[in-house]
Chain A
Amino acid sequence: MKRRRKAPFPHIAVDLRLMDIFLQQIINGLVQGSIYALVALGYTMVYGIMGLINFAHGEVVMIGTLVTITVAGTMIKAGMPVVLAGFAGISVAVLVCIALGWGLERIAYRPLRNAPRLTPLITAIGMSIVLQNMAMIIWGRNYMTFPPLFPKIQYEFAGANFTAVQVIIVLVSALTMGGLLLLVYRTKLGMAMRATAQNPAVASLMGVNINRVIAAAFVIGSALGAVAGVMVGSYYEIAHYQMGFMLGLKAFTAAVLGGIGNLGGAMAGGILLGLIEALGAGYIGDLTGGFLGSHYQDIFAFIVLIGVLMFKPSGLFGEKTGDRA
């Protein structure tokens, strides 16, 4: 008996007809990717100037979320209007994270600025663990619910559902990236940053206060972390002292994917990673006829990462930096 020849991917045709589902997956990926991008901007900001991977950045995001919960949650409970509570919560979170970022740089990284590159990396991981445990002591082990700071409006477009928070997230990360690009390429501080990134010693000879520039990078990165924390919190409405770890890892991956040190690259890498994850989880099962399931979604993302790094080691948009690998 002759076997009937099967099309290699019998399910594609079926699934492409479900355009609303495809669109929904794109939206899912875009929002998830924007969150990654927002966190990745913080990584890339610090890396671009110091060549240091601040592994504690995920924890800064987590603290931003938890502080917002405490401040805004208490104010809402006390009967204050949500707008005021939200504004206060976000402001306090940004201030706390700025203080945290500045403190991290002062305590953990500045003393090691001339140490071998591995040393600050290890302190970064150490600080990440310290911050996690500190948060566990302060906020406890339980999950916390994030107060609803943004209006809960549902939209429907061509069969795909999305919420106001999702729109805000995409807008905020796009605006943040734009603002950072302006800062780096259009201001005096940005010029000092670029000079420091190129050669700290020479920059300092030209009258750039290196310490201040690097501290500024940390402060800006941490403030972004706080904003990212608020976005993550309002999207999932759930927070926990360990939420920063996985998020940080994914965002770091996104930054590497786009070319770490490059602001546009972080944005593109984040969104690309989000899309790969969503589409991978959504379609990989059907594409392989059930051989690979949605539990391979992370693997799919990392395969893409490995592929990019093999053919373009500096990432998609990374510049060839020579000595800085």
Chain B
Amino acid sequence: MQAKLSLVALSVVAAFALSACGQKEEPKPVAAPVAPAAPAPKPEMVVKLGHVAPMTGPQAHLGKDNENGARLAIEELNAQGLEIGGARIKFELLGEDDQADPKQGSIVAQKLVDAKVNGVIGHLNSGTTIPASKLYSDAGIPQISGSATNPKYTQQGFATAFRVMANDVQQGKALGEFAAKQGVKTVAVVDDRTAYGQGLAEEFKKSALAAGLKVVADEFTNDKATDFKAILTKIKSKKADLVFFGGMDAQGGPMAKQMKELGIKAKFLGGDGVCTPEFMKLGGEATEGNFCSLPGMPLEKLAKGPEFKDKFTKKFGAEIQLYAPYVYDAVMVMADSMKRANSVESAMFLPEIGKTKYDGVTSMIEFDQFGDLKGGAISVYQYKGGKLEYVETLGGGTVAAAVAEVKEAVAEVKDAAKAVAGAATTAGAEAVKAGAEAVKGAAEATKAAVEKK
């Protein structure tokens, strides 16, 4: 009896010892004593990526869109079964809500720092990204934002701060020049007093003044307002030809509508924050014919754009609102840097982010010494029949744009050649000469386009 008991006790002890062993040396694969048929499964390592955007509040729809972009990227990466440093990598997304509020942004940033995330994607708003970037920099955590466009974010001298979108200096400048081209003489500027809205409005003003326009009114609202009649009435009294709004769609839509109700004939112009389907839904027919801009090229014009759009809508059953492709690229750039560094440690792969040369959905992603996207293009869109219609791309020098231009030039050459051929058979030498000149011109255009890039 006693012997039996002691046997039981022994086995219990042994079991405990074994399980303790197992806990300590987790990565040790179960050694197959006989058949070495299947290779030992690689140990799995969880890489935590933080994602921050407003998931509640007036910009929650954009925050959800961003998070969906990140989620799509992470699912694809996990499906690929990436191996880094001899371990199978499983990415995990820690989604946080900063309510588009700078105070809350810092709180959740600290939370992510404490959770020891390997990298951070976000935040959505410049106003929350800038204060949070200090915390990430102090902790040495790389941060890539897909949508914070205020120039200050990357100008603070933090080695950890990157963005995959053109900044507001580029955007404001392009918009100012675009406004001047529209033939307006006087502009009124409204901003929502956030880091993004204010920054964009300032850059727009600078550019508009440089282009010879007159700023007749400088008005302000906030990012929770719905009533703009008072400031719009004032703008009406100043007789502006164009109203520029630095802010988001939730304010821009009703603003455009109220402009119409007040009988203001001025045009409406805005940046990326109002370049959304939501804006048109909220503004109704008041948005028709007006313009807005988005950093980067339109998805349809990009090699991988339509494919991304299909994947996104199929997975989430929702239209892309705004920044989802950029956030998707931000995650991919981070994973790509980890791959090149062959490490998931922040300190190890951080230097690799700066050397990124990644062919993403939105553009060829390369960073300058500040962490800004190299040669970010700005595209202008028009609201037409409830859809955003692409108008033109200003500035920038993305590879995609260059390729598109070269293609167009090549097509021109071909057309010209056809014309020559046609002309040669039917008409005389004069036509041939004209055709030859056209070919020459097209060839020069090609050359210029290539050189420009």
A residues near B (Cβ < 8 Å) are 15, 18, 21, 24-25, 28-29, 31-32, 136, 141-143, 145, 154, 156, 161, 163, 236-238, 240, 242-243, 246, 277-283, 285, 290, 293-295, 297
Contacts and interface: CB of A to CB of B under 8 A. Distances in A.
B254 A238 contact: yes
Given A21-B237, A294-B221, A145 B282 contact: yes
A293 B218 contact: yes
B248 to A, nearest CB: 11
Taking each of A31, A143, A280, which has the highest tally of chain B beta carbons within 10 Å of its own beta carbon? A143
A24 B250 contact: no
Q: Is the interface of B mostly helix, strand, loop or mixed?
A: helix
Given A141-B64, A145-B281, A293-B220, A25 B230 contact: yes
Contacts of B173: none
B85 interface: no
Given A21-B233, A21-B236, A281-B234, A236 B227 contact: yes
Given A282-B230, A282-B233, A285-B234, A163 B278 contact: no
B219 to A, nearest CB: 5
A280 B220 CA distance: 12
Nearest to A29: B230
B11 interface: no
B64 A240 contact: no
B263 A282 contact: no
A236 B226 contact: yes
A294 B255 CA distance: 15
Contacts of A290: 218
Contacts, number: 101
Given A18-B237, A237-B284, A143 B230 contact: no
A268 B233 CA distance: 23
Contacts of A25: 230, 233-234
A25 B234 CA distance: 8
A278 B219 contact: no
Q: Which 8 A-B pairs have the closest CB atoms?
A: A141-B60, A281-B230, A295-B220, A28-B229, A21-B237, A278-B230, A142-B61, A161-B263
A237 B58 contact: no
B236 A243 contact: no
Given A142-B61, A161-B263, A243-B226, A28 B233 contact: yes
Interface in B245-300: 250, 253-254, 257, 261-263, 278, 281-282, 284
Contact of B229 (A15, A154, A278): A278
A154 B261 contact: yes
A23 B430 CA distance: 69
A143 B193 CA distance: 21
A140 to B, nearest CB: 8
B57 interface: yes
Nearest to A18: B237
A29 B237 CA distance: 17
B414 interface: no
Interface string B40-80: 00000000000000011110110110000000000000000
B278 A142 contact: yes
B156 interface: no
B231 interface: yes
Taking each of A31, A280, A283, A295, which has the highest tally of chain B beta carbons within 10 Å of its own beta carbon? A295
Contacts of B58: 240, 242
Given A143-B281, A154-B261, A243-B226, A294 B61 contact: no
B58 to A, nearest CB: 6
6 contacts: A28-B230, A237-B254, A238-B226, A238-B254, A282-B230, A295-B193
B222 interface: yes
